[in-house]
Chains A and B, each alone.
Chain A
């Protein structure tokens, strides 16, 4: 029953998408457009998506194991929270959530369309095409409502998409993926990335609509500014959570491994970052019109590539790609998107207005161009490193992987240049910047940065890249503080009131500067934690102690406890100071055994200067093998990440109310 409801809801949304494409297109080309005509399909689309999602949740919560998806992603002993998250933990369910987010995006875009808004109506038609693809995918290759028709050894052996056939249900499901059950982060991190991926559909749809209509100017940019920043912020937050999960839960001793799955999220993030910057140049100075269209198309294509990479199994092996039904479909969608968008661009770009020429490379625009150049080259490098092994294997040449030094060698100069641009750019005037003006604003920050570098050297930092990043990072923050104080002196009022008024007056600029502050802190934290980490492997018998990088660890005992969904085996360790005297903390790294497999969880003690990270290297008993790592300044990485995301949020939501009203009239 629930399978039939779910499948019908998906089909309803697919049909509504078709209706939306036609009606929005007809209204966009009608002599007197009536946006009221699109309300029906949009509501149906959203309604179908909500019902499909709720049907899947109901099936999981009610232990309806006659659904193949439920029996392979949940069980009677799965805790409630992981049952809820099970609705998007595997491929089919994640596409249902994807469809829901997309339907919300369509609904919100439709709400902003009033009167003779031909651009908005055309964009809705484009959105209809995209949502038709996803709901059709949901109804066919990635159908979560397939019912179980045959049992093989107590588990579902064969499924059918027809909801009314004779169904059988296993007594119990196999439970949630152990990685999911092991940490709630695994339930939050992917949806954050989906929201980031999906919200970028809106800028893409408006860009395509502007191209179709041959519209000049920056209307499409103005209207999608919020969407772009929201997409950027969610992608960034999603990656931050992913890094944290990787560090706190996965226990391999790091937070970023240049894994293709990670690159899949980084690529659209880099392109979106470049776009947000170059969009400013177009809005303020009317330049870079073509380039912005290219960047939007690139970013959207990279979100599809990311979905393809993570969801088709291509990364594990090209051979699993051919086994998955979704892989070829997503690849096809990616190719069609890229080719159709570029063909449209080639046909229409001559209609774009001639932009004012760059007055001087020594200007804010010039630094923005530099930023775009660096980000694009870096994204290209990451893209090549990510897909080269896949292409090579697909050609049957060899199985290879790209090692981290490839990326790190490019990351280092990229980070240096970006930090420099980040320090100089925001205080450089538009059009033509005289050296004296810029110098006055960066002279003191340069001194502050150098002092910070000297302090780093005196406290014992010997790695040159780390020192350089500290100098540049502190320089960036000092420039921002200096500029803030300079502008604050021009604002009147009481102290806190003045600060808020300044931050709100140009929330886009100051939101950006808050983000830059976060990025500078992240850069310092990444440099410190990767350039100055200490790693050791120790083996201890009960009562024995070992010293690693200034910390003493004593193995006290092993513990075992049984929970409904798992068995936990752990080691109890006492973390002490170097002389093995005062106890700092008790650390308990563990193994968790689930029905579907085991997952380890490291123990991390976070301190002001460094983190002590302990992961098991074997099942603890009379003796225990441990991987002990000491990472400096890890808290700065997470704090910097949150500040960066907060900056994005500030840029969107801290606008003055009256300005919002002006924008609403522009929409009409």
Chain B
């Protein structure tokens, strides 16, 4: 009888153990997605890596060697970004971008940039995809 229990208990405990280890690893590697509006509401600097999504404001892009300065907006608030690293081929003003890095309370320091294609980044009525609206509508 005890033997039969062991037969199921040992694998079950092992599987649970593996899942717990994976979850711990997962939670330490999650990157939260934020909009400029959300970051303006929370101006505490942090070392936690974040993703910031928005549209590149026309006329704000300047370069200094390998460093790129730009401003992104979600239509309500805008945020200055300093980017060092690979610049995607399709990077352009007015384009939807996602940058990944840290937020020091006033400037977003990014080292990874992704381009979102327009049809994916906008809602059907051609509005910029905006998480803020969604989250405000919830409570």
Contact = CB atoms under 8 A, between A and B. Distances in A.
B87 A627 contact: yes
9 nearest CB pairs, A to B: A600-B89, A406-B29, A399-B33, A617-B87, A537-B66, A400-B30, A627-B86, A251-B89, A403-B29
A406 B26 contact: yes
Contacts of A625: 63, 87
Contacts of A597: 117-118
Interface stretch (B1-9, B15-23, B72-80): B15-23
Contacts of B100: 403
Interface centre among B29, B49, B87, B138 (most CB of A within 10 A): B29
Given A403-B49, A537-B87, A539-B65, A409 B25 contact: yes
Given A615-B89, A625-B63, A400 B32 contact: yes
Contacts, number: 98
Nearest to A616: B89
A598 B90 contact: yes
A61 to B, nearest CB: 25
Given A402-B29, A409-B25, 11 more contacts: A252-B88, A380-B19, A400-B30, A403-B31, A410-B22, A537-B85, A537-B86, A539-B63, A600-B89, A615-B89, A617-B88
A400 B33 CA distance: 5
A599 B26 contact: no
B108 interface: no
B51 interface: yes
9 contacts: A377-B18, A380-B22, A388-B26, A398-B33, A399-B131, A400-B31, A410-B25, A537-B86, A600-B88
Given A323-B124, A539-B65, A384 B22 contact: yes
A602 interface: yes
Interface string A317-340: 101000100000000000000000
A387 B18 CA distance: 17
Contacts of A537: 65-66, 84-87
A374 to B, nearest CB: 11
Say which size band chain B's interface belongs to: 35 or more
Interface string B77-120: 00000001111111110000000100000000000000001101
Contacts of B87: 537, 617-618, 625, 627
Contacts of B32: 398-400
A381 B91 CA distance: 33
A151 interface: no
Given A384-B26, A399-B33, A539-B65, A602 B89 contact: yes
Interface in A172-200: none
A538 interface: yes
A523 to B, nearest CB: 22
Interface in A503-555: 535-539
B53 to A, nearest CB: 9
Nearest to A317: B129
Interface string A404-417: 01100110000000
A401 interface: yes
A548 to B, nearest CB: 11
Interface of B: 18-19, 22-23, 25-26, 28-33, 49, 51, 63, 65-66, 84-92, 100, 117-118, 120, 124, 129, 131, 134, 138
Interface of A is mostly: mixed
A316 interface: yes
A252 B29 contact: no
A48 interface: no
Contacts of A536: 66
A319 to B, nearest CB: 7
A615 B86 CA distance: 9
A323 to B, nearest CB: 7
A591 interface: yes
A401 B33 contact: yes
B91 A618 contact: yes
A385 interface: yes
Contacts of A599: 89-90
Contacts of B51: 401
Given A409-B25, A536-B66, A316 B90 contact: no
Contacts of B124: 323
A393 B110 CA distance: 23
B21 to A, nearest CB: 9
A399 B138 CA distance: 15
A402 B33 CA distance: 11
A618 B92 CA distance: 7
A19 B73 CA distance: 57
A436 interface: no
Contacts of B49: 403
A535 B30 contact: no
A460 interface: no
B98 to A, nearest CB: 9
Given A323-B124, A380-B18, A388-B26, A600 B90 contact: yes
Contacts of B120: 316
Nearest to A250: B89
Nearest to A538: B66
A360 B106 CA distance: 63
B70 to A, nearest CB: 12
Given A537-B86, A618-B91, A402 B129 contact: no
A539 B18 CA distance: 47
A599 B88 CA distance: 10
A539 B84 CA distance: 13
Nearest to B135: A396
A253 interface: yes
Given A381-B22, A402-B26, A396 B89 contact: no
A396 B139 CA distance: 11
B86 A252 contact: yes
Nearest to A383: B22
B33 A591 contact: no
Nearest to B114: A252
Interface in A353-408: 377, 380-381, 384-385, 388-389, 396, 398-403, 405-406
